[in-house]
A and B are shown apart, each in its own frame.
Chain A
Amino acid sequence: MTRFTLFCFLILATLRAGDMEDRVRYARDQVFPALVHIQPVKEILISGEKQKMQVTGSGVIISPDGYVVTNNHVAEKARFVRCTLSSREELTARVIGLDPWTDLAMLKLDLEAAGLRRVPYARFGNSNKTEVGQVVIALGSPLGLSRSLSMGVISSVDRYFEDMGDMVSPFNLWLQTDAAINPGNSGGPLVNLDGRIIGINARAVTFGENLGFAIPADIVQFVIRQIIDHGEVERSYVGIHWQEIKDFRRYRKTPDMRGALVADVEADSPADSAGIRPGDVVTAINHSPVNAVYREELPALRLRIANVPVGSRLPMHIQRGDSVFSVQLVTGRHGKFQGTEFNAKTWGMTVEEITPRIKRQLQLKDARGVIVSGVKIPGPAFKGDIRRGDIILRINGAVISDVQHFRKRYQKALRDSERGVLLMVQTENSKRFALIEGVPAQ
């Protein structure tokens, strides 16, 4: 009897293993033909001059007419994008839109040039229904090894990351998987066993093992729809920094309190103008209740505000101490992630716009000036002691407001190249003068 039971168990196990392999093969067949090996040639300003470099990433075709989803960090600054399909056909693509806030980008394959009318594509699944422990496969080009597949399970469906430098994700949580994800997998699909895309792989922890992260498909679908319709993702801004209320309601001894805590209000923002203060609890936005007890609930709250059309009137219900009241604010436009760059070639340096994000990161009192993004060695700027990260505040005494203004002053200074140019620069908290020496007349 015991032997018979064991025999049955082994048969069942073998069948189940076979079943699993079949399901993985099925999922692979649904997505593999739509997999794209992406090699953008980027034109970037680095070390104070314009340089070209090729990187490798992954992507997936999501429509028969050749729209491809990938990561922003793969496609940004691409001058030219070369794509290789899993059929090994090579095509070019153009960048349709970028969204650095979610690290997503949209490409369009040039089917006509390749003599193609349609291409195989993959379909999205519902990332909201993803469960921890669910088996998934990741496809892409890890370390440039194209058409690779790895398998694992979903380790977490709501991983939250604080923003760190350029690594930001204010509007989404992450799917965590132990399927191997390496550099080059970026932009590739994370697929369930039904063969549906449930995420776009974007990050991995380099000093850890089997810690990969994908942007959930529901976020991806929203972003690509915005890019296809508008060419970009337009987001509303109110200037509130949110905090979960878990400990706040313990402190207030109101365990049933619902809402989201205002941690900080940016000066001159719509929230500031509406009189919202740190310590307020927002209980409803647009007459619909708000609740962020845990920090994992914050991205959805930010997204809810961001998705309101810019310029909308947005009523908010506020609880301040024991009083409850409403305010109405008009949303502004969410600031740029990366600013405009300018190559001051003659001076041997490149400068970049100070966006609200950079202003906050560097704790600047205002956004005037431009930030030095690179210095050519050797070069006039290097000789003048200008270094990457310096902020140029003045040129020949004139206050520099932004990149356009810098460009004008730069061009004016070039016309009087004999005298030299005196810049006022700021490094961290100290200011100093920097002289770009003039060129004596021949």
Chain B
Amino acid sequence: MKHILFVILFGISLSAAGDWNKAIHTYRPYLVEIEYFESIRSNSFIRKRTITRNLTGILYGNEGMIVTTSAIFRTGTGFTPLRVTGPNEPPGEITVRFADGEETSARFVGKDDDWGLGFLQLDSLHRRKGCTFYTQSEVHLGDQLLVLGVLSEAYQSLPFIEAIRLSARKDGLHPYYLADGSLLQQPLGLVLDSRNRPIGVAAHDVRLFKIQLASKLKELLDKPPVYTPQMSENKKWLGITMQPFTRAMARYFHADSLRGILINDVLEGSPARQAGLQTGDVLLQLGDFPLLAERYSDLEHFRERIRAYPEDSARVRYWREGRITDTHVHLTAPPINRFLAESYEDTLYGFSAQPLTRDILLSANLDFDTRGMWVSDVTSAGWADLAGLKIGDIILSINNQPVHNLNDIKARLQALHKQRPAYVQMFILRGPERLFVFIKTKYDTRGD
């Protein structure tokens, strides 16, 4: 009997080894290494403008599409009043390397931060056929799956395969499974089911795999988001800041059974403001979806719901001073953030400026009617830098001419290039103070 068991186990292990080899042989060609340049913005003394980064991705479908992580363009395309950093332009000069060593160029298509995935497309001359995801497979907690990835160049980009077991599941609009996995170095792998069929992608985080199934990603894979410069993402925005309405708060308001989300600020000009929502209102329901939040992390469900709301108008039920009311909110696209705004660069004066987006106004605690241009870059040792202009300054006027928008600043600087003055006066807002900056030009010594 023991012999029979041994033979069966040996057979299983041989079969597993065979499956793993077959998986590598079949799917390694679809795993690609991605190299790209990321523009960085730095106040540091050494001003390195671009850095090289590497990711991995999966070639899928017949159109030369590659799915990778959204880290390929780290800048959020949504609206956030937080002081965030990131490149102000999408990745450039993308090179994709295949298993056979061939390299080809690709372009950035777009990304979805909610799913955490980004998309590239191979240049049309070099299209290859990608893998086809199997979307009918059903998985459950405890199932064993395979993750196929690529090791880094230090290990000659060897294929790497690891058996994982699904240990946790997150439901909601962007569901995923978690599995223990600590060995794969590269951020994205292909998930195979027990019959070696590609069923999803595995994003590697610290000691964990985040498994997203192709069956849930189908719409995204078929129709990836398209990044358009100076355009916000194709998501919805309500325009409030909020916090959990805790049980203790419900007791304070003598409404013990009330559960919801407490509005703590309504942004000027936002859909919420137009719908009449106010600070202190407790949101109870979005459409038919009840809103519950005991912890800050619970608010994420609501954000997801709003961002992915299928219609332009949403029914919102809220509580205000003991009364429950329904209202309709006309959801709009979020305002663009500073990273998506068009920028004007003057190489002669050595600075770039862009319009005051809402996130800049909010983070600097400025009124919404503040007019000026935000200095987004200053060239080290350039004319503007030597005069003391700094990143984050807001230019209010140039030579006493107000500067309200891109056209204004272009017109002012182009006029200066014709006039070639020895000094230029900029009136700026820096933190709480307004002050003058006098730029000494060197038109006569240009090119020295």
Contact = CB atoms under 8 A, between A and B. Distances in A.
Interface string A253-265: 1000000010110
A426 B422 CA distance: 46
A428 B365 contact: yes
B425 A251 contact: yes
A433 B262 contact: yes
Contact of A437 (B248, B425, B435, B438): B248
A5 interface: no
Contacts of A361: 432
Contacts of A429: 81, 362-365
Contacts of A360: 432-433
A171 B423 CA distance: 30
A247 B438 contact: yes
B395 to A, nearest CB: 14
A278 B425 CA distance: 13
B248 A363 contact: no
B279 to A, nearest CB: 7
Given A264-B435, A422-B249, A437-B248, A431 B427 contact: no
Interface in A225-277: 241, 243, 247-248, 250-251, 253, 261, 263-264
Contacts of A288: none
A430 B432 contact: no
A411 to B, nearest CB: 19
B364 A433 contact: no
B241 interface: yes
B165 to A, nearest CB: 38
B438 A250 contact: yes
Contacts of B196: none
B241 A241 contact: no
8 contacts: A247-B438, A251-B423, A251-B425, A263-B433, A279-B400, A429-B363, A433-B280, A438-B252
Contact of B252 (A241, A364, A422): A422
A435 interface: yes
Given A250-B422, A250-B438, A279-B436, A435 B431 contact: no
A420 interface: yes
Interface residues of A, number: 30
A80 B343 CA distance: 59
A363 B243 contact: no
Contacts of A364: 365
B264 A247 contact: no
Given A363-B364, A429-B363, A435-B249, A248 B264 contact: no
Nearest to A246: B438
Contact of A251 (B251, B365, B367, B438): B438
Nearest to B435: A263
B306 interface: no
A264 B243 CA distance: 38
B434 interface: yes
Contact of B427 (A279, A432, A435, A438): A279
Contacts of B243: 432-433
B248 A420 contact: yes
Nearest to A419: B252
B251 A420 contact: yes
Interface in B234-293: 241, 243, 246, 248-249, 251-252, 262, 264-265, 279-280
B246 to A, nearest CB: 7
A278 to B, nearest CB: 6
B429 to A, nearest CB: 9
A290 B408 CA distance: 36
Contact of A430 (B241, B248, B364, B433): B241
B427 A278 contact: yes
Interface of A: 241, 243, 247-248, 250-251, 253, 261, 263-264, 278-279, 360-361, 363-365, 419-420, 422, 424, 428-433, 435, 437-438
Contacts of A251: 423-425, 438
Query: 6 closest Cβ contacts across the A-B interface?
Result: A247-B438, A251-B423, A264-B434, A432-B264, A263-B435, A360-B432
Contacts of A419: 252
B436 A248 contact: yes
B432 A435 contact: no
Contacts of A365: 365, 367
Nearest to A361: B432
Contacts of A247: 387, 423, 436, 438, 440
Contact of A363 (B425, B431, B440): B431
Given A250-B422, A251-B423, A279-B427, A264 B433 contact: yes
Contacts of B248: 420, 435, 437
Given A251-B425, A264-B433, A278-B427, A431 B252 contact: no
B434 A278 contact: yes
B438 A435 contact: no
Contacts of A278: 427, 434, 436
B365 A363 contact: yes
B446 to A, nearest CB: 19
Given A248-B425, A250-B438, A420 B241 contact: no
B423 A241 contact: no
A88 B283 CA distance: 70
Nearest to B361: A429
Contact of B433 (A241, A250, A428): A241
Given A247-B436, A263-B436, 4 more contacts: A243-B435, A264-B433, A360-B433, A419-B252
Nearest to B431: A363
Nearest to B364: A363
Contacts of A279: 400, 427, 436
A261 B431 CA distance: 19
A250 B265 contact: no
Interface in B402-440: 422-425, 427, 431-436, 438, 440
A264, A360, A361, A419: most-surrounded residue (chain B CB, <10 A): A264
A363 B423 contact: no
B254 to A, nearest CB: 9
A433 B246 CA distance: 11
B264 A433 contact: yes
